Amino acid sequence: MNFLKKIKKHTKVSFLNYGIVIAFYFIIQAVAVSGHLTNSLKGQLIPIVSYVIMALALNLVVGISGELSLGHAGFMSVGAFSGVVVSMSLAGSIPSTGLRLLCAIVVGALLAGIAGVIIGIPVLRLNGDYLAIVTLAFGEIIKNVLNCLYVGVDGAGLHMSFKDTASLNLAADGKILINGPMGATGVTKLSTFMAGTILLIVVLVIIQNLVNSRTGLAIMAIRDNRIAAEASGVPVTKHKLIAFVTSAAIAGAAGALYALNYSTIAPKKFDFNTSILVLVFVVLGGIGNMTGSIIAAALLTILPELLRKFADYRMLIYAIVLIVVMIATNNEKVRRFIADLKKKKKQEDAKNE
């Protein structure tokens, strides 16, 4: 017990998170082996992992860095489509699917990270609601540009165009990879649940080590009081950018994983609503709380599936739950009421002893 007490609190939380992910993986595997895994849940596994990773990425920006981003689906789609292009164009040269998936995720993360730098430098000079609306605008721009993007591949390499498929000038053996508003079609599914779990653990290692490092402390200091942090010599823009770009890159990786789970994927999938969906995971899980993000993202991705019976009412219930939870956790009266209940219980416990 003494040994356990000596471990720092944040280390315990970190290991709890790894534990949850690994346990989840083995439980699913066990259920799958025993043959009880339904097809609908099986199809949901990779989306669940992708959304958990997205929620962790967004929590880094919203919770740790304290900036509201409404355009994270944009980074996800950058990762998704670059991942698709990489995996499809490497199909001939790298036969191993695992290696190709790795390449796709790495390139997706890199390109989304670059997009994060390009967007982050101007955006992070703004504050509060203005920052939120600009990230929203960037998310919409990314979606619109991808809607006009045509990419094809043939013997000579990659071809890109913003007009139509004809202007790609593909050779006879060429193949269209991304077809404008239709998105990527005929994608070879590469993502596996195991790969997703490994990616999730890698992401957790990155985020938790970043948060508990000196840099993480600086980022949180800026969140709590920008002026005080600046006065103490913390470079504000640099640290905000570190959090933002890391988050963007992780979102890109999640996007690549997500896209390679489907045979077709359209840019429309990553619109404003997706950004909001992930934000809801983060807020319901607890802002700044990584464990909460993991659980909320997983549960809320499964929930609509479980509510299939109430098909028509499920989104209505979802909306009401969202409002009620926000009021219950943020209203002073409700909070005081809960605090009083806890106090009473403690007093009773003390009496009983």
Partner 1 sequence: MLANLINGISLGSVYAIIALGYTMVYGIAKMLNFAHGDVIMVGGYVAFCSISYLGWPPALAVLASVFVCTILGIVIEGLAYKPLRNATSLAVLITAIGVSYFLQNAALLIWTSNTKVFPNVFANLPAIQLGGTQIAPVTIITVLANIIIMVALTLFTSKTKMGKAMRAVSEDKGAATLMGINVNRTISMTFAIGSGLAAIAGVLLCSAYPTLMPTTGAMPGIKAFTAAVFGGIGSIPGAMLGGVLLGVIEIFGKAYVSTQLSDAIVFAVLIIVLLVKPTGLLGRKIREKV
Largest CA-CA distance found in the chain, in angstroms, rounded: 85
Nearer of residues 30 and 326 to partner 1, judged by Cβ: 326
Nearer of residues 26 and 130 to partner 1, judged by Cβ: 130
Cα(115)–Cα(117) distance, integer angstroms: 5
Nearer of residues 126 and 234 to partner 1, judged by Cβ: 126
CA nearest to 239, candidates 109, 66, 75? 66
Instruction: Name the minimum Å distance from CB 8 to partner 1.
Output: 28
Instruction: Name the minimum Å distance from CB 53 to partner 1.
Output: 21
Per-position DSSP letters for 33-98, written without gaps between them: HHT---HHHHHHHHHHHHHHHHHHHHHIIIIIS----S-HHHHHHHHHHHHHHHHHHTTTT---HH
Nearer of residues 144 and 232 to partner 1, judged by Cβ: 144
Instruction: Name the minimum Å distance from CB 274 to partner 1.
Output: 13
| Residue 297 Cα to chain centre, angstroms | 9
Instruction: Name the minimum Å distance from CB 127 to partner 1.
Output: 8
Nearer of residues 147 and 185 to partner 1, judged by Cβ: 147
Token pair belonging to 283 = 């807020």
Nearer of residues 193 and 318 to partner 1, judged by Cβ: 318
93-130 burial, b at 16+ Cβ within 10 Å, e below that, comes to eeeebeebbbbbbbbbbbbbbbbbeebbeebbeeeeee
Q: Is 161 helix (H, G, I), strand (E, B) or coil?
A: strand
Instruction: Name the minimum Å distance from CB 245 to partner 1.
Output: 18
Instruction: Name the minimum Å distance from CB 168 to partner 1.
Output: 17
Residues at the contact surface with partner 1, assessed by CB under 8 A: 62, 68, 122, 125-130, 132-134, 136-138, 140-141, 144-145, 147-148, 181, 227, 272, 276, 279-280, 283, 287, 312-313, 315-316, 318-320, 322-323, 326-327, 329-334
| Backbone φ, ψ for residue 151 (5° rounding) | -130, 135
Instruction: Name the minimum Å distance from CB 17 to partner 1.
Output: 23
Cα(149)–Cα(143) distance, integer angstroms: 10
Residues 139/272, Cβ–Cβ less than 8 Å? yes
Q: Is 126 helix (H, G, I), strand (E, B) or coil?
A: coil
Nearer of residues 163 and 345 to partner 1, judged by Cβ: 163
